[in-house]
Amino acid sequence: MIAEVYIDIPANPVNKPFDYRVPEPYRDLLEPGMRVTVPFGRTRRLGFVTALKESSEFTRLKSIDAIEDHLPVLTTELLELGRWLADTTVCATVAAYQAMLPAVLKADYKKVVKVEDPKQLKKQHPNLAGLFESKGQLLWAELVKNDVNLLTSINHALRKGSLSIHQLVRNQATAKHVAVVSASVSAERMKLEYSQLSDRAKRQKEALYYFIHRSDSATFHPTMQALTNEGLSRDAILKLAEKELLRIDQVEQFRNPYKRAIEHTEPLKLTDEQANALAPILQSMDKNEHRVFLCHGVTGSGKTEIYLQSIQHVLERKQQAIVLVPEISLTPQMVVRFKGRFGDHVAVMHSGLSRGEKYDEWRKIREEKVQVVVGARSAIFAPFNNLGLIIIDEEHESSYKQEDMPRYHARDIAIHRAQDHQCPVVLGSATPSLESFARARKQVYTLLSLKQRVNHRPLPSVHIVDLREEMRQGNHSVFSKELLEKIKDRLQKKEQTVLFLNRRGYATFVMCRSCGTVVECPHCDISLTYHRAQHLLKCHYCGYEQAVSDTCPTCGSDAMRFFGTGTQKVEAELSRLIPEARVIRMDVDTTRKKGSHERLLRQFGEEKADILLGTQMIAKGLDFPKVTLVGVLAADSLLHLADFRASEKTFQLVTQVAGRAGRHDLPGEVVIQSYSPDHYAVLDAARHDYESFYNQEMALRRLGSYPPFYYLVLICLTHPEPAKVAEAAERIALILKKHLSDSSQIYGPVVPAVAKIKDRYRYQCMVKYKREPALLPVLHRIMQHFQEGGKNGLQVSIDLNPVALM
């Protein structure tokens, strides 16, 4: 028997399966979708078995070393999905497979250097030999850690054969086990043994007695931990196990990241709008029919309840459901809503879990111990076998697009899988992406509209404040007079305020007031950001940091000053203006520690603070009854990004933030501060008018030939030498022009807004097209021919339907 194996090197030259012989004892065990270790070149690597066959066109095949799984980690469906993904996003098949699995299932490679000929090594490289001492091998990382200059000696020794290099494959997946104790003989037998035990074996008698006097002794199997907690002796239990009166089993245990008890909730009685939206979803399930629904519902219209009740139907049909939620709104509040309704049927997957926890959640899905997964982007690959529904909440969110290989969009994967399973997809949003809404208009998707908040609570009233006017009146604070007054008013009424500051494009930078010099990263073409906590300037692209200095590197004056506003600065200003206000700040700095996100939100929910001040991460999903005021400090900070989606993002963000106010009994109010108060994205968000925004924005997209009228491909090249990257970009543009049809437009090569990142120069080419059958084949060829890899090679990335053009 022969296995086709994809080796886990995501580089293109090996983007094909290799044939391996399957040794006799493995023949009954091996299935496609399992991972194996195989000899590859002079190393051993992990690989995925994608097919089994009787013969190979190649002779002299190597054999598989070991099977790594007892159950395929990739189902037949996922194996096919991976091939499709690799084809349509132009990446290596194995990179697609890796993206589908939790990180622990990827091999952790460690290189070791082995001494092959100690005598020769000692003679030629005594310093090296000294490092090895009596050890036969050292980790590569440890060896070069001592002294990078050793590399030349190591290379020489490798060539002479006195040293050799090996890869260590270590399977990282570890399940957590607990010891469970149970009786292995009848109660009568235990009683007999008890009477025969000498009185000196007091502890053993105690333990035995404990088991004898339980009416359920046949099914009673407490953990060892629980027994010792009761005061029983561990040694005594071990002795009884030796005597085969008790038995101890190691039982696999799932880590439980949500230890808090969650209150069970019952389905709510739906509003008419909700019922009208739910019915066609259920119908489509019952007909086993694939359809895509776009559920466009204003904030607070009760979309989540529709999701919950459609999932309930999935469970009744003994099927499974995937719910995608953007990473930042995967808050404990959100998790509780799903666990509260479906309890242990739910697995949760997000980046806040440890590797072990993620692996456990994944196994619950694979072993069909749960029927629902709620998770961020990659949960779309949940290995369910009988999907009944896929839900994507906040479908407009750009985080559904993965920015590394494979550059997939979760929405595309959802639709592909739902076609396979003949089940519906529900896309939900208060501010759908233009792409999805356009498809709904064309009836490719079915539109479900919820125009009212639940119980006809009004949408909050919105005031726009012109920040230019404030400036003219001499107010240089980040708070307009109006916003400040309203915050004070809420403080008096004991109501709560949410303040939103968009960090991006609004970060703090340092500029010389006398010559205008901005301190930039020496490796990237971008200004450094001031971090107050550590009093350092940092690069947000490469992590470079340097001390803050008062003197200008260009003109030598001491007029270096901070510009812009960060959350810390706003917090400081708040405490100056309203010292009595209790403020909780939520940003990357205050939420870095595990659990801090949850803790801060809980404190705010328990009204331990008056004001919640935060970045993007507070824009979504929050639902607190006492919040009656929302302030957006600078609505247009996104508007001036060099990106065709800038207006759309602004509209979405402002609408979402405003939607946090007045969701319960108290009416809500929103203050939007802006330097461009007349911009349609700001105005339409203030008026809660999605369709007006949609129409305006679509007109502009049509004029600029942007999506959804055209599709885009962005090809980005980087190289340490500007001339090399320019030349390669030129050649790629020529290839595109030669092979693509006249209806496609090719732009570039151009230098993008950020011209250099991590000392690598960047060039871009862009293609706009409507229908282009030649596209994928050409892109695959470009990838194969130009990708050199390595630190000094050319790197090419191809992004179909990019979400950002930076």
Ligand X SMILES: Nc1ncnc2c1ncn2[C@@H]1O[C@H](COP(=O)(O)OP(=O)(O)OP(=O)(O)O)[C@@H](O)[C@H]1O
Binding residues, as ranges, are 512, 515, 521, 524, 539, 542, 552, 555
Cβ proximity to Zn ion: between 153 and 517 the closer is 517
What is the C-alpha to C-alpha distance for residues 209 and 547, in angstroms, rounded to an integer? 69
CA distance 789 to 802: 22
Nearer to ligand X, 409 or 663 (CB): 663
Annotated binding site for Zn(2+): 512, 515, 521, 524, 539, 542, 552, 555
Q: If binding is defined by CB under 5 A, does position 552 make contact with Zn ion?
A: yes
Partner from Zn ion, ligand X, none contacting 305, C-beta within 5 to 8 A by type: ligand X
With CB under 5 A as the contact rule, the residue among 554, 575, 692, 792 that binds Zn ion is 554
Decide whether 141 or 275 has the Cβ nearer to ligand X: 275
CB of 349 to ligand X, least distance (A): 20
- The Cα–Cα gap between 18 and 24 comes to 19
* Cβ closest to ligand X, residue 64 vs residue 322: 322
Measured between alpha carbons, how far is 519 from 512 in angstroms, rounded to an integer?
A: 8
Interior CA angle at 235 toward 234 and 240, to 5°? 100
Q: Which residues contact 211 (CB under 8 A, 6 or more apart)?
A: 183, 190, 217, 220, 246
Residue 796 CB, nearest approach to ligand X (Å): 39
Residue 659 touches which member of Zn ion, ligand X, none, C-beta under 5-8 Å by kind: ligand X
Q: How many other CB atoms are found less than 10 A from the CB of residue 520? A: 17
Q: Is 454 in the site for ligand X (CB under 6 A)?
A: yes
The nearer residue to ligand X, 12 or 304, going by C-beta atoms, is: 304
Q: Which of 15, 93, 274, 496 is the binder for ligand X (CB under 6 A)?
A: 274
Q: Do the bridges between strand 669-674 and strand 760-769 make them parallel or antiparallel, or are there none, so unpaired?
A: unpaired
Tell me, residue by residue from 254 to 273, as one string, x for binding to ligand X by CB under 6 A and - for no binding: --------------xxxx--
Considering only residues 496 through 535, tell me which ones interact with Zn ion, judged by CB under 5 A: 512, 515, 517, 521, 523-524
Listed in order, strand segments (DSSP E) in 274-345 are: 292-297, 320-324
Contact 633, 478 (CB under 8 A): yes
Q: Which option in ligand X, Zn ion, none does residue 430 bind, with CB closer than 5 to 8 A by kind?
A: ligand X
**Residue 672, H or E segment:** strand 669-674
The reply to whether omega before 406 is within 30° of 0 (cis) is: yes
Q: How far is the CB of 659 from ligand X (least distance, A)?
A: 5
Choices 167-175, 293-301, 560-568, 785-793 (CB under 6 A): range interacting with ligand X: 293-301
**Which of ligand X, Zn ion, none does residue 523 bind to, with CB < 5 to 8 Å depending on kind?**
Zn ion
Residue 297 interaction partner, one of ligand X, Zn ion, none, beta carbon < 5-8 Å per kind: ligand X
Minimum distance from CB of 621 to ligand X (Å)?
Answer: 6
For Zn ion, the closer CB: 193 or 545: 545
Cα of first residue to Cα of last residue in the chain, in angstroms, is 49
Kind and range of the H or E element at 283?
Answer: helix 272-286
| Interface segment toward Zn ion; rule CB under 5 A; list 241-249, 403-411, 455-463, 536-544 | 536-544
CA 381 to chain centre: 12
Regarding beta strands 346-349 and 372-375, do their DSSP bridges make them parallel or antiparallel, or are they unpaired?
Answer: parallel
| Among ligand X, Zn ion, none, residue 268 binds (CB under 5-8 Å by kind) | ligand X
Cα–Cα dist 784/92, whole Å: 10
CA pair distance 8, 45, nearest whole angstrom: 7
d(CA 464, CA 482): 10
3-state secondary structure of 671: strand
Among 72, 82, 300, 424, binds ligand X (CB under 6 A): 300
**Residue from 299, 496, 568, 787 in contact with ligand X (CB under 6 A):** 299
User: What is the total count of residues that contact ligand X (CB under 6 A)?
Assistant: 19
Q: Is 541 in the site for Zn ion (CB under 5 A)?
A: yes
Q: Which does 84 bind (CB under 5 to 8 A by kind): Zn ion, ligand X, none?
A: none
Is residue 305 a contact residue for ligand X (CB under 6 A)?
yes
Least distance between ligand X and beta carbon 307 (Å): 8
**Tokens 């960090």 belong to which residue?**
503
Q: Which residues contact 147 (CB under 8 A, 6 or more apart)?
A: none
> In Å, how far are 7, 16, 162 from 64, measured between CA atoms?
12, 17, 28
Nearest approach in angstroms of CB 298 to ligand X is: 7
Residues in region 491-520 near ligand X by CB under 6 A: none
Stretch that binds Zn ion, among 193-201, 539-547, 613-621, 760-768 (CB under 5 A): 539-547
- Stretch in the footprint of ligand X (CB under 6 A) among 65-73, 292-300, 380-388, 671-679: 292-300
> Taking a C-beta distance cutoff of 8 angstroms, is the pair 390, 133 a contact?
no
* CA-CA-CA-CA torsion sign (266, 269, 271, 274): positive
Q: Nearest CA to 193 among 249, 238, 246, 234?
A: 246
Rg of the Cα atoms in the chain = 31
Of the ranges 227-235, 301-309, 541-549, 717-725, which one interacts with ligand X (CB under 6 A)? 301-309
The verdict on 374 binding ligand X (CB under 6 A) reads: no
Q: Are 673 and 654 in contact (CB under 8 A)?
A: no
Q: Which of 588, 582, 587, 589 minimizes the C-alpha distance to 604?
A: 582
**Of 47, 102, 326, 659, which one interacts with ligand X (CB under 6 A)?**
659
Q: Which residues bind Zn ion (CB under 5 A)?
A: 512, 515, 517, 521, 523-524, 539, 541-542, 544, 552, 554-555
Q: Which residues bind ligand X (CB under 6 A)?
A: 268-271, 274, 297, 299-305, 430, 454, 621, 623, 659, 663
